[in-house]
A and B are shown apart, each in its own frame.
Chain A
Amino acid sequence: QQQVKQSPQSLIVQKGGISIINCAYENTAFDYFPWYQQFPGKGPALLIAIRPDVSEKKEGRFTISFNKSAKQFSLHIMDSQPGDSATYFCAANTGGGNKLTFGTGTQLKVEL
C-alpha cells in the first residue's frame, strides 16, 4: 500500500516534444506529491509538487496533472530540451513532513 508505481522506466523524446511520466499510488492518505530531477552523480532536485486540492499545477515548462479518483499523477515536460535529459522520480507522503515514498525512476533522454 506504500508503493508508488512509476512508468515508463525509460523514455526517449525528440527535442521540442512533450515528455510524459506517470505515477500511481495506493495509499489514500498520501497528500503531497513532489517530482524530483536527478542528474548523474548529483542529488535529486525538487522540481515541482502538488497537493490533492488541485488537479493541475504548472511551473514554466513543467506541469503536474493529478487525478485523485484514479490515484494517479503525471509530469508533463513541454518543449523538451537536451538539458532535460535526467532521471525523474515521483514521490508521495502524508503531511509533507513525513518520509517520502519514491517511484522507481524514469530515465529521460531528449534527442536533437
Chain B
Amino acid sequence: GAVVSQHPSWVICKSGTSVKIECRSLDFQATTMFWYRQFPKQSLMLMATSNEGSKATYEQGVEKDKFLINHASLTLSTLTVTSAHPEDSSFYICSALRTKSYNEQFFGPGTRLTVL
C-alpha cells in the first residue's frame, strides 16, 4: 500500500508560537495533498487542498493567514499553524492523492497539537 508520513506525531507549544507539520508521501509522488482537522469523536473536517507548485485552496471558514500551507515538492506538503492559541489544539491529518490506475487518497498517521 501507499505510505504517508507526518512529523511530528505530537507537539506541545506555548500560545503565540508557530508550529510546522510535515506531510510526506514516501513511495509515490503526490501533486495533490489535503489537510484535515479532527476533533474527538468527530468526522474529518477538510481545511485545505494543497497543490504542488501553486497556492492552496482553503475551505470556507479556514483562515489562510493562520494555517499556511506549502507544497514545495511532489512528496512534501507542510502546514504551519501561526500564532497558535489553545483553540487550535486538535488532531491534524494530511492525505496524499495517488494517481495510479485509480485516484486514491492515503492518510498520514496524524499530528496531535496541544497549545498551552
How many Å lie between the Cα of A46 and that of B106 in the bound state? 7
Say if the beta carbon of B103 comes within 8 Å of chain A: yes
Say if the beta carbon of A60 comes within 8 Å of chain B: no
The secondary-structure label for the interface of chain B is strand
Q: Number of contacting residues on A, CB 8 A?
A: 22
Say if the beta carbon of A61 comes within 8 Å of chain B: no
Contact between B43 and A43, CB atoms less than 8 A apart = no
Please report A residues at the B interface, Cβ cutoff 8 Å. Answer: 32, 34, 36, 41-46, 49, 51, 89, 95-97, 99-100, 102-105, 107
How many Å lie between the Cα of A105 and that of B97 in the bound state? 21
Show 19 A/B contacts (Cβ-Cβ < 8 Å), sorted by A.
A42-B109, A43-B109, A43-B110, A44-B93, A46-B105, A46-B106, A49-B102, A49-B104, A51-B102, A89-B43, A95-B103, A96-B103, A97-B97, A97-B99, A100-B34, A100-B105, A102-B43, A103-B43, A104-B43
- B110's partner among A42, A49, A89, A105 (CB-CB below 8 A) is A42
How many Å lie between the Cα of A103 and that of B42 in the bound state? 10
Listed from nearest, the 9 A-B pairs whose CB atoms lie closest are: A96-B103, A97-B103, A43-B107, A43-B110, A43-B109, A44-B107, A102-B43, A43-B93, A43-B108
Say if the beta carbon of B46 comes within 8 Å of chain A: yes
How many Å lie between the Cα of A51 and that of B102 in the bound state? 10
Contact between B112 and A34, CB atoms less than 8 A apart = no
Q: A43-B4, A49-B102 are in contact. List 18 more A-B contacts (CB 8 A).
A: A34-B104, A36-B107, A42-B110, A43-B109, A44-B44, A44-B93, A44-B107, A46-B1, A46-B107, A49-B104, A96-B103, A96-B104, A99-B46, A102-B43, A102-B44, A104-B43, A105-B41, A107-B41
